[in-house]
């Protein structure tokens, strides 16, 4: 992360291009991650509950704990790296804005809560399934916003 802080690279066009490219890649990742979770877990109440708790009417078995936990394990890792890169660049570009601190806090909190709530929902019950969906969508929209703000500053300054 040192390269993001040092002033020696403040006016490097190469760094601008590199940061834009990595943010663009993360932007695509965020979009595809939503689609991936729509396939694996579902993005509406009935499909989330059918995945987590099964559906007797349609003969759907609930997801296995180890399959769900593996997804949560992978999600935590991927979310950490995506948010760490986004937050580092965002702080570099918007350090003087008061909102920066709160946006970074919210991004990390919701990014962490989503997988944790998903595994809790499996044990506690359907009441948490919508909370998972809300936290999941909030961190994705926040990451989308941060990525767009970074690209705006880098490409249209």
Partner 1 sequence: MAFFGIVCCYDDLKETSLQMKNLALYAIPIGYMLIYVVLILASGLWLFLLSQGLDSSEGVLHTIESIMHRPKPKSLHNFIEVAAPHLFAIGTLIFVVAHFMLFSTNIPQKVSRLVSMWVFMLALLNIVSYLAISFGLLVSGWIKLVAMSGFVLLFLVLLGMVAFSL
Site for partner 1 in 95-154 (CB under 8 A): 95-96, 100-101, 104-105, 108-109, 112, 115-116, 119
Site for partner 1 in 54-73 (CB under 8 A): 65-66, 69-70, 72-73
**Position among 21, 32, 40, 80 found at the interface with partner 1 (CB under 8 A):** 80
Write the CB contacts of 52 (distance below 8 Å, at least 6 apart in sequence).
41, 62, 63, 68, 121, 122, 126, 129
* Other CB atoms within 10 Å distance of the CB of residue 71: 18
Q: How far is the CB of 103 from partner 1 (least distance, A)?
A: 10
**Position among 52, 83, 114, 121 found at the interface with partner 1 (CB under 8 A):** 83
Q: How far is the CB of 117 from partner 1 (least distance, A)?
A: 12
* Helix/strand/coil (H/E/C) assignment for every residue in 52-112: HHCECCCCECCCCHHHHHHHHHHHHHHHHHHHHHHHHHHHHHCCCCCHHHHHHHHHHHHHH
What 3-state DSSP class applies to 28? helix
- Give the distance from CA 129 to its chain's centroid: 17
Indicate whether 84 belongs to the interface with partner 1 (CB under 8 A). Answer: yes
d(CA 32, CA 77): 16
Q: Which residue lies nearer to partner 1 by CB, 20 or 100? A: 100
Q: Assess contact for 29 and 82: CB atoms under 8 A.
A: yes
Q: How many residues bind partner 1 (CB under 8 A)?
A: 34
- Segment lying near partner 1 (by CB under 8 A), choices 34-42, 45-53, 94-102, 144-152: 94-102
Contact residues for partner 1, defined by CB under 8 A = 1-2, 5, 7, 10, 65-66, 69-70, 72-73, 76-77, 79-81, 83-84, 87-88, 91-92, 95-96, 100-101, 104-105, 108-109, 112, 115-116, 119
């Amino acid at each position: 992360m040192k390269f993001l802080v040092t002033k020696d690279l403040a006016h490097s066009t190469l760094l601008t291009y590199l940061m834009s490219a990595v943010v663009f890649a993360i932007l695509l990742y965020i979009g595809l991650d939503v689609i991936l979770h729509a396939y694996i877990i579902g993005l509406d109440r009935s499909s989330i509950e059918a995945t987590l708790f099964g559906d007797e009417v349609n003969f759907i078995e609930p997801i296995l704990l180890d399959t769900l936990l593996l997804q949560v394990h992978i999600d935590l890792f991927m979310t950490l790296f995506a948010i760490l890169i986004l937050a580092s660049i965002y702080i570099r570009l918007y350090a003087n804005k008061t909102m920066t601190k709160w946006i970074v806090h919210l991004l990390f909190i919701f990014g962490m809560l989503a997988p944790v709530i998903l595994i809790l929902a499996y044990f506690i019950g359907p009441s948490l399934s919508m909370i998972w969906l809300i936290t999941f969508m909030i961190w994705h929209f926040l990451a989308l916003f941060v990525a767009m703000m970074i690209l705006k500053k880098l490409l249209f300054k």
